[in-house]
Chain A
Amino acid sequence: MECPHIPEITKGRFLERIRDKIGAERIPASGTIEPTLRCNLRCIHCYIPNDYRNRKELTYKQICRILDEIAAEGCLWLLFTGGEPFVRDDFPDIYTYAKEKGMIITIFTNGTLITPEIADYLAEWPPFIVKITLYGMTQETYERITGVRGSYRRCLQGIEMLMARKIPLELRTVVMTKNFHEFEAMKGYAKELGVHFAFDTNIKPRLDGSVEPCKLRIPPKKVIALDLADEWRSEKWRGECRDFLRAPNSNRLYLCSAGATSFHIDPSGRLNLCVLSRIPGYDLTQGSFREGWRDALLQARAVEARSDDYRCGHCNKVILCGRCPAWSELENGNPEIPVDYICQIAHLRAKTFGQGAQSI
């Protein structure tokens, strides 16, 4: 008989341990749920069109049923995003229900709706991590992006409330032309607080195909400058260039975790491959998660390129770009056409971090 004991393991190391198995058995271990697309801010770069925000939302009971089903299928890591999750008055109840199912939960929020009561609640029922997006380090810049007066102050107050209660926190930003000049200040603020700082330069088109937000992208050369100034990112790209510069040599469009070990559920209960891929979607109000995962998402994931010269399928730099067919679909109306912006960045990364790298 084995000796019964309880080895302790960090959540990250547990993921490493079961990664191969969840891939081989196609277990939906990781999911994203948008309880709402409503938001109290009006960010200029947001990929959610305004007219999507008032679409019908699942009720608390419907969400609980879905949480039961995803837990039964093996979902362990769950991300709540939006919209702004805290816009929903019943979000704490939804969150608690997911906690009670044993999910390891991350919350994406703008932080502006956090009250002492919500912070106390999160201290009592701690998430794996709360990730707050910061849009600038001055009121002027922050509110020029969010469009809401007073939101900068409320965001900082939200951060302070979580910090005071030692709730695991990460600050992140979307770097764009309107806040690039405050990037270092945001990074410095996170360092001062002693929390991890992450950034994203990939501004996406809106879900209705509008490319208006893309005008806010910083030039590819500036993206590389940010990579170079960040030790972790530099090391990551050097490693990718050294070990993984090879073409997938596959015509399959989805080579990421979407539909393999991860899924996305929108506020109306449509199950999709990921946050950007909303077509065709499986309606969870009409069927079970199990059915949607095993049938609709499996088919969506298996889609292959139709063109004979699918460029991404034969590009050895795909590891450097964050290529995504759903993003191509939004930006180019075709999942097979590369997004030129990230294509340029990938080539610059190869030049900068690859063997025989030269400065740009």
Chain B
Amino acid sequence: MDYLERCYEKDPSIVHRNIAGEAILVPIRQNVADLESIYTLDEVAARIWELIDGQRRVEEIRDAIVEEYEVSPDVAEADLVEFIQQLEAIGGVRRV
């Protein structure tokens, strides 16, 4: 199936916080990521995190990013796919 058709939801084993203007992901449960660390999100990453809701398809998230930021659909798509793969690797999201 095309990656753009996929849908992801947040995994409750990682919690999103905003502290002092920094968006971070805090792993809270065993078997996810590296519990010694937290993960910081830049502005676009934080926006994508917000858009991942278990209902929007990757394509829809890409379109929202293209609309909100100065970026071509191809670049946005490549970055988005890479970002979601990273999130999957640390246990931050799972496929619905």
Contact = CB atoms under 8 A, between A and B. Distances in A.
Given A14-B24, A102-B17, A124-B29, A4 B45 contact: yes
Question: Which size class do B's interface residues fall under?
Answer: 35 or more
19 contacts: A1-B65, A1-B79, A3-B44, A4-B41, A6-B39, A6-B87, A11-B38, A14-B38, A14-B40, A18-B22, A21-B21, A71-B17, A74-B18, A100-B12, A100-B28, A102-B28, A124-B29, A125-B29, A125-B30
The secondary structure that dominates the B interface is mixed
A159 to B, nearest CB: 20
Contacts of A43: none
A5 B19 contact: no
A11 B20 CA distance: 14
B37 to A, nearest CB: 5
B34 A8 contact: yes
Contacts of A102: 15-17, 26, 28
Interface of A: 1-11, 14, 17-18, 21-22, 25, 27, 29, 71, 74, 76, 99-104, 123-126
The interface centre, meaning the residue of A9, A22, A71 with most chain B CB atoms within 10 A of its CB, is A9
A257 B62 CA distance: 43
Nearest to A101: B15
B33 to A, nearest CB: 8
Interface string B1-35: 00000000000100111111110111011100011
A196 B40 CA distance: 28
A5 B45 contact: yes
The interface centre, meaning the residue of A1, A76, A125 with most chain B CB atoms within 10 A of its CB, is A1
A58 to B, nearest CB: 23
Contacts of B24: 14
Nearest to B39: A6
Contact of B20 (A3, A7, A27, A104): A27
The interface centre, meaning the residue of B19, B43, B69, B86 with most chain A CB atoms within 10 A of its CB, is B19
A51 B28 CA distance: 37
Contact of A6 (B28, B43, B76, B90): B90
A192 B14 CA distance: 34
